[in-house]
Structure 1
Amino acid sequence: MISTRTMVGVLAALLLPLLLAAAPAQAQQPGIRLDATLGYEGMYRPSTWTPISITASNSGTNAQGTIEWKAANSSAVFSQQIDLPNGSQKHLALNVQLPSSTRSGTLSFISGGTTLAQITLRADELDSDQLLVAVASSDSGLLNSLSGMTGSRFASARVAHIALADIPEHAAALASVSALFVHDLDTSAITEAQRRALGAWASVGGQLVVSGGSGDTTVAAGLGDLMLVDLPGGYQQATLKPLASGAAQQAGLPDAATISNATPRQGSSPRYSSLVYTRSTGGGQLIFTAFDLAALRGWAGEAGFWGGLLENHRIQPIMQSIQQYNGTSSWFSLDSITMLPVWGLFCIFALYILALGPVNYLILRRLRRLELAWVTIPALAVLFVAGIYVGGRAMRGGTTQIFQVNIFQGGATMADGIETSYTGIFSPNRDSYTIGFDPQTLLVQSAGDDGFYGSTRISGQYLTDDTGMKLWNEVVDIGEMRTVVSERTAANPAQASGKLRMTDTSLSGSITYSGIELEDAMVVHSTGNAQQLGRLRPNETKTIQISSTSPSIQSISMSETSHVRRDQILQALPYQMMNQPTSAFLIGWQTTATIAPTINGSPSQPQGVTLYIIQLDTAGQ
């Protein structure tokens, strides 16, 4: 007789190979190597686009696959296709979003379902009132004193050192950074996409600081219109003592330093005896120091000086305030989609009861075939269900409908800004969708009305390849409206100039508009008071006079479309504007959708509107 122990041993021997075969493959291929940095030296802001700078190398056999990122506390997977031939080394940036309280995540190279390499990256979440300062310099100790910087609008600061190659090509991936210092590096190496991203980021709140001194032309080489001065060449020696007024600290400032000869461009203002030049970009600012930034090393007032110069601008770009607004699904109107009214449902239900009961009974009684009730009752039930199903499908339509709200944000005189698109997908059936955008666009799924962009509900499978970024196989229920959010750097089509005088409660002067034609245009003070301009056409000049008695933006009625509730969108604006003291915005609409996604590989034609939010340059702040 076979003992129980023997039987267990035999079963274990038979099942062990099957269990091993069913286990997920995690084999490491010795030739594949991953090195990466998450965010800015590990620092990130939750639910904000964060770049992962990756170096992938292969000393083994040819490999094709995807690099995948997954945060430890999120179900979302962000991946990018990559080919790694033998002997190759490739650098790439994978843009991801991390939920709040992320401490780590895994970055993997996966080929054919097998993980060939995997590393763990640590994440350090920034507090909402912390300023993140990025420094691009060959000097790893430059400006480290700024970690002790404080200001009236932020509690503390963090400093991250980055390479020029790590500057994202998407402006949205710079959203965590409040200020970027560029020092002693050759910016001719940056790409056009990086330069445009910097300009768009600066137009919505970023602050770009460029160092002068003996290496000024090298630092300025690739910045183009982001330079606020011309450098004709030549230097002079001058004291840096005038900077003391910015920090009430003179001891430690050099008596002599190399100063760049600089000619300010239009809109630039010299400060501190022409040692510093500044220019407003709408939401942010450009800064040029005629001296080498390293000249302030050892000055006790360095952190206080920069804290005072940077604190008058908001910590986070305006786009984050809009993204964190709850209830974006209320922006879309389903009135254009025919739905059966409640009274119609009651009528159908009453008709069903009459047909199944009295009518069926009277007909069968007249025919003297009451015994057929067991056939007619199920037949009538099937007939009504089929009719309701067919009628419902006919009313909803048989095709997926795409609705879109685009919000463009930029500075009045800046060439580029950031365009955020909220795309609503209405499905007539329960179906899965792959939603794609072009390579210049980042994509994430809305987390819903109970915490959009602010909660930990970042989900979905995202793949980036040569054709762009896609959300894969997302299931949308019958009659459901699913919202996805995309962001990209875009040219500014609504530029304006003028002379405006602003106080805490008023705005006066004039603006000259040079952009595309806008509907329902208005100028809005940061208090929420507004002046309606109506239809705004190119080359028009408007006189502006806003005071505390001017109507509130919330009280102004909008001309509605059949697809989008403009009034609901405007509900999001006063809050984020009041977070931006003494600022003014030009707002206007176009009844067009500017970003067309692909749905299951086919082009779509969204129905929607575009809202332009242009921050105006003001004086008297």
Structure 2
Amino acid sequence: MKNLFKVLVASVIIFSAIFSGFSAGAAETAKDENKLEVKLNVGFNDNYKIGFSTPVNISIKNNYKDIDGEVEIRVPSSPGKYMSYVKPVSLQKGAEKLITINVPIGNDNRSKYSVNIYDGDHKVYEDSITTVASNNITTFIGILSDDFDSLSYINSAPASTGMSLITKTIKLDEKNFPEDIFTLKAFNILVINDFDTSRLSKGQYEILKQWVKNGGTLIVGTGSKYNKTLSAFKDDFIQGSQGSMQEIATSKIYELATNGDNKNEARLDVLSLSVKDSAVLLEDKNVSLVQANEKGTGVVGILAFDLGKAPFVNWNNNTVFMEKILALVNPSLTSTNNINNGVTYFNNDIYGLQQAVNMFSEMATARTSSFYLILLAYILVVAPLSYFILKRLDKREWMWLTVPVLAVVFAGIVYITGSGTRLGKITTNVISYINIDNKGNVSTDTYAGILNTNKSKVKLTSQSGDRFIPVANNYYSDRETKTEVQEAKIHTGEDSGIEYKNSSLLETKIIQIQEASLELGRLETNLSLKNGKISGTIKNSTAMDLEDCLLLLPDGYYIVRSLKKGETVDLAKLNANNHFGNMYEIVNDVYFRNNAGLTGQSTVDQKRMMDLRQEGNILQRLYNYGSSQIDGIKFIGFSKTQVHSTMLVNDVQAKKNERNILIMPVDIRFADGDTLEYPMGFVPYEVINTSNVNFDMNTRRFFGNGSAEVVFRIDKAMLVEEMEVKASGKNTKATNSSYMIYNIGEEIYEPVDDIKISGEKLRAYLSSDNTVKLRLEVTDGEIGLPQMSAKGRNK
């Protein structure tokens, strides 16, 4: 009893000591916090979107002591786990510093993030922030200007008629302008006016250019401040020559803002500019007022005037005017057909990503036939043969020994046989969507899966300065980080990288990669159309060997099985295939049904089957997040050529496999001498003024009980002699649904079915800018989108 009492006393003393230690630690942390004055701000003036990265600004005033440690933001990543975004901090006593860390905002828009400051390993500050973000369809307009107030009228973005957008205008400068694409891509539009762009760092400037190529709309105002605005553009991003400043009287400004109703002239200071590869969109007095320069999937609009001066400031129509400018520079901003702007194809689909990065034929393939033989031998040896031999020896009681021994022996055989199917070293499987425009500008959306079955801790760094961001499962609610387990540590300073701490050995780690601009060349095409048939050649002048390629047309496609670097394919030697306007049909025919001819027995067949399945899945995913409809002419090809930088995994170069999908729009000459012909389905269109109907881009059909208008835009350089309207979707399920065409002279809609229009009748329906407007009435059902063809000659 006496000994028991001593044990109890000792236990109480030890427990009290431990508890007092914890209490002292907590008290010390609280005491330390009082000596650090910290202010937290999320986003750009509290504006940020779900599904994008955003800056968290941590302002620290140190009244404590010299600190040498790091700032940490804990972001929930999945149930029970969080990821730490950290940046080093060194702060002397009495000093102040602003630390900015970009973190992702999950799809659950009310999440609690922990903010901690460490001195070495000692936590000296902790707090939390709760994110309440804008939805991901809010339009962000970023403005860089030294006179931001003068541009306050730029507060609205153009939209398709009948639709409205939620828009937020955000003031930017060299201090808060993002240095990574994951943060900048939250912006839809950027305006630079009266701002010295040379104040942007090299990294910020490179990200700005990549953002445009990835689908952004950049507006650059010049006028008398052109030296400031254009100071950063010393490379080939914007090339051209500039003349002198002059004052002109022009009615184009008021006309644009009022749809031609106001033709009064305004006095305007303009800069004479000639920009290489640009299209002049607005011109007067031999001065290009507005030019557009396409870059990748985005566009730069260069204005000859200063947006912060008269007549724009304090003008009643200035907001409408800016909307018109944006729509003029980038018509896709007002189009319902604006697909895949920003090149975000996986859209946080971590499950789709895991499937894509794990489906590489380069990975070791199990030899199933060998395993079947081993299994059959095991069954025969362990049961009948083993029993027969022991029976002959009258030793059947030894079965308890022979069965486990044989099991161990066969396990060894299986292990040796399957050794070739295991990962020999850490492997990175890269999936990349590569868009190349006709000038060779490249935009990419790149992901990598890290496969490692030997170590639970994985450190990822880049030799070439690429930035990484982990892709996490963000679909859950009530997210906290205080009691969860750290999954990864993301270093956001100059020495960027990711350390995975507590991830499953069998779970593929997925990251998105922001890399330096790729220089890959482009496809050289020489295609023309005559009598409804396409002829000509496509030459692969890229740096990649291409295979399983498609030339997609609105009404058909060509299959190009292989097109290596430098090779040329002649379409006359290929067979054209027809389709019904749905991409899923093509994917099924080209990539999935082809598997039926493969036996799957040989390793070659297995790998070929995996390649086709993977390519089909990747291409299908591309259209899942856009449209399965085929508009325009595109070349699509797959490549295993390694064009991306090799990353370091645990400080060693990892083995790397790549699967790149190249997407490039293709120009085609519709001229044969002086004759022009746009066959059925090749005339671009835009859906506007939808009322109580939904337009399904995948099927090109309208659903509901209402109406919609479709505008067909024939090339302005064409003198139209004949056009044909085909009501391809006339097989409607709504008995009272109908198509009508707009009569310009009568200013009314007239009923129309399949019809050819030529001669003098064209004037009734074809506008001066070669547009034709149709109206669809849907009554309790569905109706298809009509198509148009046009013939004529050059003006």
TM-score w.r.t. length of structure 2: 0.64
* Structure 1 counterpart of 2:515, from 459, 472, 488: 488
1:218 and 2:218 matched: no
Secondary structure of 1:50's counterpart equals: strand
Distance (whole Å) between structure 2 residues aligned to residue 401 and residue 563 of structure 1: 18
Judge which range, 45-54 or 605-614, deviates more.
45-54
Query: 1:104-131: CA deviations, max 9, x gaps?
Result: 5344323333333455556443334332
Alpha carbons of 1:246 and 1:592: their partners in 2 closer, same or farther (altered >3 Å)? same
User: Could you tell me how far apart the structure 1 residues matched to 2:489 and 2:435 are?
Assistant: 28
Matches within 5 A, 1:187-198: 187-198=197-208
Question: Paired residues, what number?
Answer: 608
Structure 1 distance, partners of 2:526, 2:715, is 11
| Counterpart residue identity of residue 186, structure 1 | D
- Matched with 1:570 is 619
For the aligned residues, what is the CA RMSD? 4.7
SS at match of 1:566: helix
Give runs of aligned pairs for residues 84-103 of structure 1, distance below 5 A: 84-86=90-92, 93-103=100-110
CA change 1:380–1:524 in 2 (3 A) is closer
CA shift, 1:570, in A, is 1.8
Q: Does 1:468 align with 2:496?
A: yes
Q: Match of 1:403, as an amino acid? A: N
> Letter of the aligned partner of 1:289 in structure 2?
L
Counterparts of 1:208-287 in structure 2 under 5 Å?
Answer: 208-224=218-234, 225-227=236-238, 230-239=241-250, 242-248=253-259, 255-271=266-282, 273=284, 274-287=288-301
Q: Distance in 2 between matches of 1:271 and 1:124?
A: 41
- Is the Cα contact below 8 Å between 2:615 and 2:638 reproduced in 1? no
- Which deviations, in whole Å up to 9, do the C-alpha atoms of 1:18-75 show, x marking residues without a partner? 5426769845456756556533333333333434456666565443322222346864
Q: In the TM superposition, what whole-angstrom CA distance separates every residue of 1:183-241 from its partner, at most 9, and x where no partner exists?
A: 21111111222222222211221011112232121111113344465433434254565
Q: Map residues 72-471 of structure 1 onto 2, 5 A cutoff.
A: 75-86=81-92, 93-103=100-110, 105-118=113-126, 120-121=128-129, 123-152=131-160, 155-224=165-234, 225-227=236-238, 230-239=241-250, 242-248=253-259, 255-271=266-282, 273=284, 274-295=288-309, 296-311=312-327, 312-313=331-332, 317-324=341-348, 327-331=352-356, 332-334=359-361, 336-339=363-366, 341=368, 348=374, 351-389=377-415, 391-393=417-419, 395-396=421-422, 398-413=424-439, 415=441, 417-429=442-454, 431-438=456-463, 440-447=465-472, 460-464=488-492, 466-471=494-499
Distance 2:410 2:141 in 1: 66
Q: 1: CA distance between counterparts of 2:548 and 2:365?
A: 31
- How far apart, in 2, do the equivalents of 1:175 and 1:88 lie? 34
8 Å contact from structure 1 (residues 513, 537) kept in 2: yes
Q: Would the aligned equivalents of 1:151 and 1:308 in 2 still touch at CA under 8 Å?
A: no
Sort the Cα spacing of 1:528 and 1:32 in 2 relative to 1 into closer, same or farther, 3 A: farther
Please report how far the alpha carbon of residue 485 of structure 1 lies from its aligned counterpart in structure 2 after TM superposition. 3.0
8 Å contact from structure 2 (residues 344, 445) kept in 1: no
Moved more, 343-352 or 35-44: 343-352
Residues 462-489 of structure 1 deviation map (CA, whole Å, 9 limit, x = unaligned): 23454432242353435x6554332324
State which of 7, 17, 20 in structure 2 corresponds to 1:17. 20
Where 2:515 maps in the other structure, the secondary structure is strand
* Deviation (angstroms), 1:161: 1.3
Aligned match of 1:45: 49
| Alpha-carbon separation, structure 2, partners of 1:297 and 1:148 | 15
Give CA deviations for 1:482-502 in whole Å, capped at 9, x if unaligned: 543323242332346889999
8 Å Cα contact 1:528/1:578 also seen in 2? no
Paired position in structure 1 for 2:651: 601
SS in 1 for 2:345: helix
1:541-556 to 2 correspondence within 5 Å?
Answer: 549=578, 554=587, 555-556=589-590
1:157 to partner: Cα distance: 1.6
Alpha carbons of structure 1 residues 21 and 91: separation in structure 2 relative to 1, 3 Å: closer
Higher mean displacement: 542-551 or 428-437: 542-551
Amino acid at match of 1:396: R
Could you tell me how far 1:598 is from its partner in structure 2? Answer: 1.7
| Counterparts in 2 of 1:428 and 1:77: CA distance versus 1, 3 Å | closer
CA distance in 1, matches of 2:263, 2:14: 80
Would the aligned equivalents of 1:133 and 1:159 in 2 still touch at CA under 8 Å? Answer: yes
- Unaligned ranges ≥5, structure 1: none
What is the deviation of 1:569? 1.8
Superposition deviation, residue 603 in structure 1: 0.6
- CA contact 1:420–1:488 (8 Å) conserved in 2: no
Indicate if the aligned counterparts of 1:34 and 1:118 stay in contact, CA closer than 8 A: no
Do the aligned partners of 1:407 and 1:421 also contact (CA within 8 Å) in 2? yes
> 1:177 deviation in Å?
0.8
1:535 CA drift (Å): 2.1
Instruction: Flag the 1:72–1:154 CA change in 2: closer, same or farther, 3 A.
Output: farther
Deviation at 1:605, TM superposition (A): 2.7
Give the secondary-structure state (helix, strand or coil) at the position aligned to 1:43: coil
1:483–1:11: structure 2 CA closer, same or farther, 3 Å change rule? closer
Cα 1:507–1:101, aligned 2, differ >3 Å: closer, same or farther? farther
1:614 to partner: Cα distance: 3.6
**1:176 alignment partner AA:** A
Instruction: Single out whichever of 244-253 and 271-280 deviates more from structure 2.
Output: 244-253
Higher Cα Rg, which structure: 2
- Shift of the 473–121 alpha-carbon distance from structure 1 to 2, 3 Å rule, reads closer
Percent same amino acid at aligned positions?
17
Distance 1:252 1:93 in 2: 49
Deviation at 1:17, TM superposition (A): 0.9
Question: Does the 8 Å CA contact 2:557/2:577 hold for their aligned counterparts?
Answer: no
Please state how far the C-alpha of 1:146 moved relative to its aligned partner: 4.2
Q: How far does residue 361 in structure 1 lie from its aligned partner after superposition?
A: 4.3
Evaluate the alpha carbon distance shift between residue 603 and residue 508 of structure 1 in structure 2; reply closer, same or farther with a 3 A threshold.
same
Letter in 2 for 1:570: L
Alignment CA distance shift 1:397-1:9 (3 Å): closer
Q: TM-score, normalised by structure 1?
A: 0.80
Distance in 1 separating the partners of 2:214 and 2:519: 12
SS at match of 2:139: strand
Report the AA paired with residue 566 of structure 1: E
1:159 alignment partner, SS class:
strand
CA–CA distance in structure 2, aligned partners of residues 146 and 579 of structure 1? 34
Q: Please list, as runs of the form range in 1=range in 2, the aligned pairs for 1:18-33 lying within 5 A after superposition.
A: 18-20=21-23, 26-27=29-30, 28=32
**Map of 1:592 onto structure 2:** 641
Distance 2:244 2:632 in 1: 36
Do 1:498 and 1:510's aligned partners in 2 also have CA atoms closer than 8 Å?
Answer: yes
Q: Classify 1:9/1:251 alpha carbon distance in 2 versus 1 (closer, same or farther; 3 Å).
A: farther
Distance 1:210 1:204 in 2: 18
Q: CA–CA distance in 2 between the matches of 1:344 and 1:176?
A: 52
> Per chain length, whose mean CA-contact separation is higher, i.e. which structure has more relative contact order (CA < 8 Å, sep 6+)?
1
Change (3 A) 1:240 1:252: closer
Measured after TM superposition, the shift of residue 306 of structure 1 is 3.1
Q: Deviations over 1:240-265 (max 9, x none)?
A: 65343244487899832332232333
